[in-house]
């Protein structure tokens, strides 16, 4: 089964206004809008309307993606699901491990100290606590 391209009601388009010379404006319209910055796209109410049009596309886009995931092969569907979860903040956790030396180097750099002095001081504190 082939995948149909998603037809967005607000694709990237050129500004719909005319220039003073009478030709069509060659600038791109703002995202979700019909006009460029110079022809009113920078106005707060125009920006709000464009943002609202984009927000209205989220649910239909997610519904379409859900249908595509059902129609795709398992590896492609898995990749699509992972991408959606990553973008939503539910991606796999990444873990960074630092050695004690690396932690000390980072702390020393943050404090503007020599790493060897910092380690020696930490060892003195541990020894005196015993």
Which residue, chain included where needed, has tokens 């110079």? 38
Residue 100 pLDDT exceeds 70? yes
Q: How confident is the model at residue 44 (pLDDT cuts 50, 70, 90)?
A: very high
* Mean per-residue pLDDT of the chain: 80
% of residues, the chain, pLDDT over 90: 7
| CB 17 within 8 Å of CB 35 | yes
Identify the burial level of 73 via C-beta atoms within 10 angstroms of its C-beta, where 0-12 means exposed, 13-18 middle and 19 or more buried: exposed
Mean pLDDT, residues 75-87: 79
Exposed, middle or buried by CB within 10 Å (0-12, 13-18, 19+), for 86?
Answer: exposed
Please tell me whether the overall predicted TM-score, pTM, comes out greater than 0.85 for this model: no
CA 31 to the chain's CA centroid? 16
**CA 89 to CA 28: how far, in whole Å?**
31
What pLDDT is attached to residue 45?
A: 93
Query: Which has more confidence, 72 or 120?
Result: 120
* pLDDT attached to residue 11: 58
In this prediction, residue 1 carries a pLDDT of 37
At 39, is the pLDDT very low, low, confident or very high (cuts 50, 70, 90)? very high
Judged against a pLDDT cut of 70, whether residue 102 lies above it is answered with yes
What pLDDT is recorded for position 107?
84
């Amino acid at each position: 089964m082939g995948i149909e391209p998603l037809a967005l009601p607000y694709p990237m388009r050129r500004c719909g206004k005319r220039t003073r010379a009478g030709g069509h404006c060659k600038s791109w319209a703002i995202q979700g809008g019909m006009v460029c910055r110079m022809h009113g796209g920078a106005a707060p109410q125009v920006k709000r309307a464009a943002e609202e049009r984009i927000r209205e596309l989220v649910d239909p886009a997610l519904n379409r993606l859900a249908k595509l995931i059902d129609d795709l092969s398992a590896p492609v569907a898995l990749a699509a699901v992972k991408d959606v979860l990553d973008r939503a903040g539910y991606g796999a956790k990444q873990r960074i491990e630092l050695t004690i030396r690396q932690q000390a180097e980072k702390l020393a750099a943050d404090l503007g100290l020599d790493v060897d002095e910092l380690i020696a001081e930490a060892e003195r504190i541990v020894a005196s606590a015993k």
